[in-house]
Structure 1
Amino acid sequence: MTAFWCETALVEVDGGTEAARGVRLETHEGRISAITVGAQPQPGDTPLAGVVFPAAANAHSHAFHRILRGRTHDGRGDFWVWREQMYKSASELTPEKYEKLATAVFAEMVVTGFSSVAEFHYVHHQPDGAPYAEPHAMELALARAAMSAGIRLTLLDTLYLAGGIGTPLSAEQARFGDVSVHGWLDRLSSLRTTIAGSFPPEHVSVGAALHSVRAVPEEDLKTVSQQLPTDIPLHIHLSEQPAENDACLEAYGTTPTGLLERHGLLSGRLSAVHATHLTNEDITLLGNAGATVVMCPSTEADLADGIGPARELSDAGAAIALGTDQHAVIDPWVEMRTLEHGERLGSGQRGRFTPQELLRAATEGAVRSMATPVAGPALQLGGVCDLMVVDPASTRTAGSRPAQLAFSATASDVIGVVVNGELLASRGAHLHLGEPGALLAEALRDFS
């Protein structure tokens, strides 16, 4: 058993959360086995000075997009222009380069307060589309990177068959694709077996993703609906751009959401990423299905995607989760705040999401998106001991009420991170890997 003594911690009280003083946590095998409020530290306890929250869950990541931070802002354009720059970065990846880069990116996530990540992964093969000699070389590189950084990884193996509706894969997309949907299903099955035999399931597990309705033809959606194993999460980029909606309407006579509903793919295990440009009917369908909608506010702002209907989706019954997507920013507090700020800008009203709702979105909102454990938005008996400690007296946070730190804190205020009952980060440094900035600088030298 290990134990932590928290100066202040968010705990559950009568269905809500409360910042309690002197909270002692006992842990067993990485889970919280006892919570005592108003306690004094005991000999051997690890002290956590500050305000302790459950660690955040990153429900949408493309690790290699971190290459593009600070490199795509010297001209006008839109998502489609940015995408060409992204393809260039993807073309330079090798398993060795990707493991090094992803280790640094995952270390950055850990020190900023994330303990779990859903990695939406589609760079499967060599640049010409040929499989590697080890068919799961890229996937295993990501799994090893996650283990090195100590972050819980849900590896979302992605189906990517077309360059657009009715359009074959381009040369830049060749390494993303599989021969067929059946080839992908076979490869996914093999990957699940390989990962399960090589990594602990609470740290690395496999899920599935459909890149988008642009990249998966309707006939293949039918096959996925019929043959995809039901015990893994399923993700999809959904209605990120109006052009996607227009193409889907022209080809199939319905919206991307309607197309998923047509083939029985809307359910509680589905995570729809972005969901920015939805009709009222789309919102109702996603809500009635109890789907999770993964908003990536900093990315959606960076790419000029638009402001999605998060409040309407939540009110309709969808769970809201948060992701950092292309990593223009890796900061759970910024994602929380940007979600609410987008709502305010779009509606002219404040308080569209309460601080507790934002904390929920950053933590257990992702629980159905992850095959690895997620906790939150308050410390829970029996939950995984994944913790984030925030300095309440920094230049940014001084004077803030603990429950309202979502409106003042940033990743710079995260002074401790615990994953699976182990202290992994302290004041911006990873305790096993060192400074993420140095790791990133070294890894990024491999890319143009």
Structure 2
Amino acid sequence: MQVTTYWTEYAWLGTHVEPGAALDVADGRITAVRRGVEAPPPGAVALRGLTLPGLANTHSHAFHRALRGLVQVGSGTFWTWREFMYQVAARLTPESYHALARAVYAEMALAGVTAVGEFHYVHHAPGGTPYADPNAMGEALIAAAEDAGIRMTLLDTAYLASAIGSKHTGEPPTAHQLRFSDGTADAWAERVSLLKGGETVRIGAAIHSVRAVPAEQMSVVASWAGERNSPLHVHLSEQTAENDACLAAHGCTPTRLLADHGVLGPRTTGVHNTHLTDQDIALLGGSGTGTCMCPTTERDLADGIGPASALQKAGSPLSLGSDSHAVIDLLEEARAMELNERLRSRTRGHWTAAALLRAASEDGHAALGWDGAGRLEAGALADFTTVALDTVRTAGQVPRLGAETAVFAATAADVRHTVVAGRHIVRDGVHTSVPDVPSALTEAIEALRG
């Protein structure tokens, strides 16, 4: 068994910062954490700065990266933003999606992300015609993550309707949405069952939202995930219009509807969970359903501030995602969750830096089905990232307060190293397999924008 040693100048071990720790790695896992190692041992890879567990981006729509900048002109709402999103989605092919996602996932690696949850619903060709390989789009995303060197949980998404409608069966997909739909949940299940996981790939499921999956078909998706012990994610109460439509059609909130159809539970994560009643919060917390907050997207789309603190207190584990990729920076997502709560409550200190880092690492990995990740300890997956402590944002700080520095001062630009499964995929701020990420992003996005 070949052992590689990574020597960390400082390492965050979950409760404190340890100076001079050596991480021994073999077969993709940490085999030992040796403390008090003052200098790099012979042959060790030196990681100068603060080494953290790898970050988990729990909610991603890779193709939304092409919208950055375009949607910052003028005013509008989530619903007007969605029209721009449809225009980009209409241009995607398996080849162009692979090129874009490869660059986006490389950008994530540069930001310290070691695992991504890709909430994937662009399944078919424009007009809804299946490709010869019905999973060509999903497999393009899997290949892109493998090329970029990060783990992926492909959350293959059921998207069957355009709106809840008045008859509980859902309104038919619009022309833009035809390529998202398999027609029925059973057809969705048949297609997604053909997808295969791997060493760095998990296959999960998603219900796009209560407006996009008719109530009577939700249980098919939930059962598929349950039979495989797979993660199940769902956009939940991101917009008040969704709540209003659900109340009109079903006489209950979206959270109650999901609970009544067997969707909630410890393997399930609600994304956004923004506009909730006290009863909704109790349902989510009491069932152990997780919450993925995406603060940079939620503020970019003017969604509102979700009750993250109340959800966690009720029993809902918190994770973080960059969603539409207005920025890709999990440190900013962690910081924003705390700062949003300060604005709402006008008090400070709702989460410690350690708690925010756990949401960005260990709890995010758990929401994506990666057990034994997000910790620097023997037996854990050898996924970690190093933040520089000598940049204009981080210099002059007390090393023992490295977690506080990382969360409240550092940005993705301060990441220097990223290691996944023991492989050094970002070295000194350069991606080892996509060496010019800005050019890769530019080329892929310009091709989509035409």
TM range (shorter): over 0.9
Deviation at 1:371, TM superposition (A): 3.2
Taking the TM superposition and a 5 Å limit, the aligned residue runs for 1:335-374 are 335-372=333-370
The residue that corresponds to 1:9 in the other structure is: 11
Alignment-mate amino acid for residue 101 of structure 1: L
The residue that corresponds to 1:183 in the other structure is: 187
Query: Is there any run of 5+ residues in structure 1 with no aligned partner, and where?
Result: none
CA contact (8 A) 1:57 1:374 kept: no
The residue that corresponds to 1:28 in the other structure is: 26
Deviation at 1:72, TM superposition (A): 0.7
CA contact (8 A) 2:49 2:386 kept: yes
Q: Identify the match of residue 323 of structure 1 among 321, 324, 332.
A: 321
Instruction: Give the secondary-structure state (helix, strand or coil) at the position aligned to 2:305.
Output: coil
- Please give the alpha-carbon distance, in whole angstroms, between the structure 1 residues aligned to 2:331 and 2:106: 17
- Please give the alpha-carbon distance, in whole angstroms, between the structure 1 residues aligned to 2:434 and 2:219: 44
- Please give the alpha-carbon distance, in whole angstroms, between the structure 2 residues aligned to 1:122 and 1:234: 14
- Please give the alpha-carbon distance, in whole angstroms, between the structure 1 residues aligned to 2:74 and 2:119: 27
The residue that corresponds to 1:174 in the other structure is: 178
Instruction: Give the secondary-structure state (helix, strand or coil) at the position aligned to 2:176.
Output: helix
- Please give the alpha-carbon distance, in whole angstroms, between the structure 2 residues aligned to 1:439 and 1:245: 40
In the alignment, does 2:410 pair up with 1:389? Answer: no
The residue that corresponds to 1:42 in the other structure is: 41
In the alignment, does 2:144 pair up with 1:142? Answer: no
TM-score normalised to the size of structure 2? 0.95
CA RMSD of aligned residues (A): 1.2
Higher mean C-alpha displacement, 108-117 vs 392-401: 392-401
Higher mean C-alpha displacement, 363-372 vs 244-253: 363-372
- Please give the alpha-carbon distance, in whole angstroms, between the structure 2 residues aligned to 1:415 and 1:226: 42
In the alignment, does 2:394 pair up with 1:426? Answer: no
- Please give the alpha-carbon distance, in whole angstroms, between the structure 2 residues aligned to 1:19 and 1:368: 23
Measured against aligned partners, the alpha-carbon deviations of 1:83-105 in whole angstroms (never above 9, x if no partner) come to 00000000000000000000000
Q: Identify the match of residue 219 of structure 2 among 219, 222, 227.
A: 222
The residue that corresponds to 1:437 in the other structure is: 438
Deviation at 1:27, TM superposition (A): 0.9
- Please give the alpha-carbon distance, in whole angstroms, between the structure 2 residues aligned to 1:227 and 1:139: 17
TM-score normalised to the size of structure 1? 0.95
Q: Go from structure 1 to structure 2 and tell me whether the alpha carbon gap of 1:170 and 1:348 turns closer, same or farther (over 3 Å shift).
A: same
The residue that corresponds to 2:402 in the other structure is: 402
Instruction: Give the secondary-structure state (helix, strand or coil) at the position aligned to 1:273.
Output: strand
- Please give the alpha-carbon distance, in whole angstroms, between the structure 2 residues aligned to 1:437 and 1:225: 39
CA contact (8 A) 1:366 1:374 kept: no
Instruction: Give the secondary-structure state (helix, strand or coil) at the position aligned to 2:426.
Output: strand
Deviation at 1:224, TM superposition (A): 3.2
The residue that corresponds to 2:168 in the other structure is: none
- Please give the alpha-carbon distance, in whole angstroms, between the structure 1 residues aligned to 2:215 and 2:289: 20
Taking the TM superposition and a 5 Å limit, the aligned residue runs for 1:84-163 are 84-163=83-162
- Please give the alpha-carbon distance, in whole angstroms, between the structure 2 residues aligned to 1:230 and 1:410: 37
The residue that corresponds to 2:164 in the other structure is: 165
Measured against aligned partners, the alpha-carbon deviations of 1:157-197 in whole angstroms (never above 9, x if no partner) come to 10011001122100000000012111111111122xxx24x
CA contact (8 A) 1:292 1:368 kept: no
CA contact (8 A) 2:207 2:221 kept: no
Alignment-mate amino acid for residue 9 of structure 2: E
Instruction: Give the secondary-structure state (helix, strand or coil) at the position aligned to 1:108.
Output: helix
CA contact (8 A) 2:29 2:381 kept: yes
Deviation at 1:129, TM superposition (A): 0.1
Instruction: Give the secondary-structure state (helix, strand or coil) at the position aligned to 1:182.
Output: helix
Measured against aligned partners, the alpha-carbon deviations of 1:275-329 in whole angstroms (never above 9, x if no partner) come to 0000000001100111110000000010000000000001111000000000000
CA contact (8 A) 2:97 2:140 kept: yes
Q: Go from structure 1 to structure 2 and tell me whether the alpha carbon gap of 1:379 and 1:226 turns closer, same or farther (over 3 Å shift).
A: closer
Deviation at 1:373, TM superposition (A): 5.0
Taking the TM superposition and a 5 Å limit, the aligned residue runs for 1:211-290 are 211-228=208-225, 229-290=227-288
Alignment-mate amino acid for residue 235 of structure 1: H
Deviation at 1:227, TM superposition (A): 4.9
Deviation at 1:360, TM superposition (A): 0.7
Deviation at 1:395, TM superposition (A): 0.6
Taking the TM superposition and a 5 Å limit, the aligned residue runs for 1:45-56 are 45-56=44-55
CA contact (8 A) 1:268 1:368 kept: no
Alignment-mate amino acid for residue 63 of structure 1: A
Q: How many residues align?
A: 436
CA contact (8 A) 1:206 1:371 kept: no
Instruction: Give the secondary-structure state (helix, strand or coil) at the position aligned to 1:96.
Output: helix
- Please give the alpha-carbon distance, in whole angstroms, between the structure 2 residues aligned to 1:248 and 1:124: 26
Deviation at 1:225, TM superposition (A): 3.9
Deviation at 1:211, TM superposition (A): 0.3
- Please give the alpha-carbon distance, in whole angstroms, between the structure 2 residues aligned to 1:136 and 1:216: 20
CA contact (8 A) 1:111 1:426 kept: no
Query: Is there any run of 5+ residues in structure 2 with no aligned partner, and where?
Result: 166-170
Q: Go from structure 1 to structure 2 and tell me whether the alpha carbon gap of 1:432 and 1:222 turns closer, same or farther (over 3 Å shift).
A: closer
- Please give the alpha-carbon distance, in whole angstroms, between the structure 2 residues aligned to 1:263 and 1:179: 19
Deviation at 1:226, TM superposition (A): 4.4
Instruction: Give the secondary-structure state (helix, strand or coil) at the position aligned to 2:325.
Output: coil
- Please give the alpha-carbon distance, in whole angstroms, between the structure 2 residues aligned to 1:331 and 1:75: 24
- Please give the alpha-carbon distance, in whole angstroms, between the structure 2 residues aligned to 1:84 and 1:170: 12
Higher mean C-alpha displacement, 70-79 vs 396-405: 396-405
Measured against aligned partners, the alpha-carbon deviations of 1:375-429 in whole angstroms (never above 9, x if no partner) come to 23x4122111111101112111123320202000001111111111111113432
